[in-house]
Amino acid sequence: MFNINQIIKIIFMKKICVSVIYSIFLISLIGCVVGKKVPYEKMKVEINYSGTKSIALAVYDQREMVVDGNRKPDFVGYQLSGIGVAWPIGTKSGKNFTDVVQEVISQSFNNKGYKVLLIPTSYKDNYDDIKTRMIQSSSDRLMIIKLKKLQIVMVVATIIDIDVDVEVFDKSGNMLAVKNFQKSLQIATDILGTNYKKYAPEYLEKEIASWLNDPQIAKELK
């Protein structure tokens, strides 16, 4: 027979074991969510035309959560945990998301014979100041890609939200073409959240290609 002290000791030890197991489970759960990075750097965008023009290229981050300081410029989306917490996701390299997109687009144009000059930007920059710097480059074409919304939201399914302006100007800053691209749709079902490193870059590279290959945009770059 157990005396009262032994029973209390057994109950106490069981509570400790349950607490330890729960803590390990919670840490594992958080570990699966926190610190996720998407390797957008590996994207390869296919442009279906070629040319020899020089292009000054700026990718301008005007996403609300970055501009208001709630998220860092490397922000690419959220993963929602099982307890309803939205954990931010960043670029794999830690670079600003706009810099990653800019470098991918630049490489695509360079592969097609264009000469691309990267114009560095910050979400804090004034739009007119960016455009002035681009005009000063004396490039044949000026291209500003303004990210107003571009992020993924991962839960059981992965949603992508896009609101992007693509603008093309001549070397004097006269508008030649402008096109807005908006989209919000499910791009994958990933219950365990393990395949995002593959499907997220694959989807976005196709989306960027659709911007650059849009007839209205392509016409002014050929």
CA distance 216 to 221: 9
Radius of gyration in angstroms for the set of CA atoms belonging to the chain, rounded to a whole number = 24
Using an 8 Å Cβ cutoff, are 77 and 97 in contact?
no
Of 6-20, 61-75, 102-116, the range with the lowest mean pLDDT is 6-20
161-208: pLDDT as tens digits: 999 999 999 999 999 999 999 999 999 887 666 788 999 999 999 999
Q: Is the pLDDT of residue 23 over 70?
A: no
The whole-model pTM stands at: 0.84
pLDDT of residue 22 exceeding 80: no
Residue 190: per-residue pLDDT: 75
**What integer best gives the mean pLDDT of the chain?**
87
Can you give the pLDDT at residue 145? 98
Confidence (pLDDT) at 76 = 97
Q: How far is CA 114 from CA 6, 49, 83, 110, 135, in A?
A: 81, 10, 49, 5, 17
pLDDT (tens digit per residue) in 70-82: 999 999 999 987 6
Average pLDDT over residues 153-164: 92
Report the pLDDT value the prediction gives residue 80, as an integer from 0 to 100.
Answer: 83
Could you give the CA distance from residue 10 to residue 18 in angstroms, rounded to a whole number? 12
State residue 192's pLDDT score.
Answer: 64
Q: Tell me, what's the pLDDT at 202?
A: 96
Q: pLDDT-derived band of residue 155, with 50, 70 and 90 as boundaries?
A: confident
Nearest to 73 by CA among 146, 123, 148: 123
Least confident of 2-6, 37-41, 208-212: 2-6
pLDDT in the model for residue 151: 96
Coil, strand or helix at 3: coil
Report yes or no: 157 and 188 within 8 Å, Cβ to Cβ: yes
Mean pLDDT of 9-31: 42
Q: What is the pLDDT of residue 116?
A: 98
Cβ pair 188, 199 in contact under 8 A: yes
d(CA 136, CA 133): 5
pLDDT exceeds 50 at position 19:
no
The predicted-structure confidence for 120-140, as pLDDT tens digits, reads as follows 999 999 999 999 999 999 999
